[in-house]
Structure 1
Amino acid sequence: MKINALASYQTGEPVKDYSFDPGELQDYDCLIKVLACGICHSDIHVIDNDWGNSRYPLVPGHEVIGEVVELGSQVRHLKIGDRIGVGWQMSSCLQCPDCLKGNENLCDENQGLIISGYGGFADYLQVDSRFAFHIPQGIETEAAGPLLCGGITVYSGLRYAGMSSGQEIGVIGIGGLGHLAVQFASKLGNSVTVFTTSQDKAEFAHQLGANHVVVVPPGESPPLPTRLLDIIISTVPASLDWAAYIEYLNSDGTLTLVGVPDAPLTLPLFSLLSKRRRVMSSPIGGRAMMVEMLSVADRFGIKPIIETFPMQQANEAMQKVRENKVRYRAVLKVS
């Protein structure tokens, strides 16, 4: 069969029509009719070859929601007609220590959907079914895609930093990642403090469930803390006064970064040592964590705030993402 898609043919180029033959369906593969696909800043990075591993023609889209239309001979956990989702990761070795511990996202052989394959800016997607996930009935199709990237990124980052409930959680940034982090932390029974840059974002943070907000104007440092936090998650791609944020951590507190700063971190060792504080980072999540995240999102009504666009307006939608004008996740719909 031929899959009709939108692809970037050269570095930084807008997408245009492209068709390809996905090849024979392998034993564990599934073929999905695409219903919706989110647009992430990572799609832009890959189109622009910012990480040096892009290949062209490049079909973007790694927040894919669709309906199963065909299954490989060994697929048992899916059936025709199921609504499923595919995120950043398309495969791993499934045999190394990380994979066997449920950390497929940490596998040395893990492959990104739009790095090693073709993404969801298409009418169909063929992918390893073992990296496709049932979407719970209570999650709307258009809202589900961003959970598979932004949602799993913040959820996994918080969980591996030790988040449970009854804790004090800090969230730096209230954008595409941050607005989901606030929801997960607050709806799981934690007190949330948001660090943001303006008063209007502070009011929005309260609407999402934040208990406290600290306004930190761009380029400035946060004030001295009046309350200490168990975990701070940074969702912003910027360099901040990390030493000042470390002072907000309680004993055994953790700073976890899921936004990638534009410069190396500079941290005072004594501030870490004196209170046994930790710094970590986290990429997406393994398959078990993905299933848990989707279940929590369904049970507690956690969903991204999205703007939708028809698939034909992919370039216009991506330009809005480039300019940070989307509030807060962009999603392409297949008509």
Structure 2
Amino acid sequence: MIQAYAATSAGTALQPFEYDPGELAPDEVEIDVHGCGICHSDLSVWRNEWGISTFPFVGGHEVAGTISARGEQVAHLNIGDRVGLGWHSGYCNHCFQCLSGDHNLCTQSTASIIDHFGGFANKVRAQQTSVIQIPNALALGEVGPLLCGGITVFNPLVQFNIKPTAHIGVIGIGGLGHLALQFASAWGCEVTALTSEAKMDEARHMGAHHCINSRDPGAIQTMAGTFDLVMSTVNVEMDWNEVIATLKPKGRLHILGAVTAPFTVSIMPFIFHQLFLSGSPVGSPATLSAMMEFAARHHILPVTEHFDLARINDAFEHLESGKARYRIVLDVNQSLK
């Protein structure tokens, strides 16, 4: 039996929950959870904001732990290996996207917290393809948020072949943005943080070469024609035309924050300056593994706050308050192991 915390309906308190996972599938592994990050996506699925949640809901898709069991077909993961599990717990492995290496675009993938029980538990199961090794150089108790927040901001650097000579703007220095600063700076880029005055010193410490006040339209206007890439990590409405004006010719505005309001922009700058507007979901297992190696090489880790798993409702409340700095990690209570 697996010991977990679950909500029985949208937005209700998470309570102790026990379930029998059944027989381990031949291509699956079972992970002893050491720590699990709480992502804003956990909050959204818990509330059923996207209309796709399933209940009981056991969240947790930023899992760091060790392999405790493996199916008979699993060859590349061994008992005791330090591993991570992110947004996807499985893929079809035969569609064009999977065969092309874009597993994160598989339309038949299984989300770790939808129609599947995630890592707010002492154990979690997943298909071997979706589980990656964690380098020894990265602390197991801190690394969890890289498996969703980290790969979300790292993936565009790979997908768009961003050059180290690029000038990158990062909107919002929170759970995603503080990691985007670290990755972009280590990538070699010139980095500008678009954030509040209160976070500027922290942003510089995390790798920003420049900071501007994102709440000051005049300050944003001074950046006209500056950026090769702007990564927006916020989930609030902005004057997107003003942001688009900060792009160089052939520049790209890449949306990573889940903005649910309609997105209205003027088309003419895209035509005259050959601009791009895009978004992306997490990353493939190969890109996840590359990100982990890159993070280990450059000593990149999230800034975290820790809660014992038994205080999961307090952790959710802290995340909802907007006061988390900058990612929350749940430490699995020893009594659940």
User: TM class, shorter-chain normalised?
Assistant: over 0.9
Return 5+ residue gaps in structure 1 as ranges. Answer: none
Q: 1:9 to 1:226 in 2, by over 3 A?
A: closer
Corresponding residue of 1:326: 324
Q: CA deviation at 1:222?
A: 2.2
Question: In the alignment, is the contact (CA less than 8 A) between 1:105 and 1:283 conserved in 2?
Answer: yes
Matches within 5 A, 1:179-218: 179-196=178-195, 198-217=196-215
Quick one: which amino acid aligns to residue 293 of structure 1? M
In structure 2, C-alpha distance between the alignment counterparts of 1:126 and 1:210, rounded to whole Å: 38
Q: CA deviation at 1:56?
A: 1.3
Corresponding residue of 1:22: 21
In structure 2, C-alpha distance between the alignment counterparts of 1:249 and 1:173, rounded to whole Å: 17
For the residue of structure 1 that corresponds to 2:192, the secondary structure is strand
Q: CA deviation at 1:162?
A: 3.3
Corresponding residue of 2:167: 168
Cα RMSD (Å)? 1.4
Corresponding residue of 2:292: 294
Quick one: which amino acid aligns to residue 59 of structure 1? V
Q: 1:219 to 1:54 in 2, by over 3 A?
A: farther
Superposed CA offset, 1:269-307 (max 9, x none): 111111111110000011111111111111111110000
Q: CA deviation at 1:265?
A: 1.6
Q: CA deviation at 1:7?
A: 0.5
Matches within 5 A, 1:115-126: 115-126=114-125
Matches within 5 A, 1:62-211: 62-196=61-195, 198-211=196-209
Corresponding residue of 2:227: 229
Q: CA deviation at 1:213?
A: 1.1
In structure 1, C-alpha distance between the alignment counterparts of 2:7 and 2:217, rounded to whole Å: 35
Q: CA deviation at 1:227?
A: 5.8
In structure 1, C-alpha distance between the alignment counterparts of 2:255 and 2:61, rounded to whole Å: 21
Question: In the alignment, is the contact (CA less than 8 A) between 2:60 and 2:119 conserved in 1?
Answer: yes
Q: CA deviation at 1:224?
A: 3.3
Q: CA deviation at 1:219?
A: 8.2
In structure 2, C-alpha distance between the alignment counterparts of 1:11 and 1:277, rounded to whole Å: 40
Matches within 5 A, 1:240-255: 240-255=238-253
Superposed CA offset, 1:90-110 (max 9, x none): 112111111111111111111
In structure 2, C-alpha distance between the alignment counterparts of 1:160 and 1:201, rounded to whole Å: 29
For the residue of structure 2 that corresponds to 1:222, the secondary structure is helix
Matches within 5 A, 1:273-288: 273-288=271-286
Q: CA deviation at 1:220?
A: 8.0
Quick one: which amino acid aligns to residue 169 of structure 2? G
In structure 2, C-alpha distance between the alignment counterparts of 1:220 and 1:115, rounded to whole Å: 43
In structure 2, C-alpha distance between the alignment counterparts of 1:132 and 1:172, rounded to whole Å: 30
Q: CA deviation at 1:55?
A: 1.5
Counterpart of 1:268 (choices 266, 269, 274) is 266
Question: Percent of aligned positions with the same letter in both sequences?
Answer: 39
In structure 2, C-alpha distance between the alignment counterparts of 1:332 and 1:99, rounded to whole Å: 31
Matches within 5 A, 1:49-60: 49-60=48-59
Q: CA deviation at 1:327?
A: 0.2
Superposition TM-score, scaled by structure 2 size: 0.96
Question: In the alignment, is the contact (CA less than 8 A) between 1:221 and 1:240 conserved in 2?
Answer: no
In structure 2, C-alpha distance between the alignment counterparts of 1:219 and 1:115, rounded to whole Å: 39
In structure 1, C-alpha distance between the alignment counterparts of 2:27 and 2:158, rounded to whole Å: 30
For the residue of structure 1 that corresponds to 2:143, the secondary structure is helix
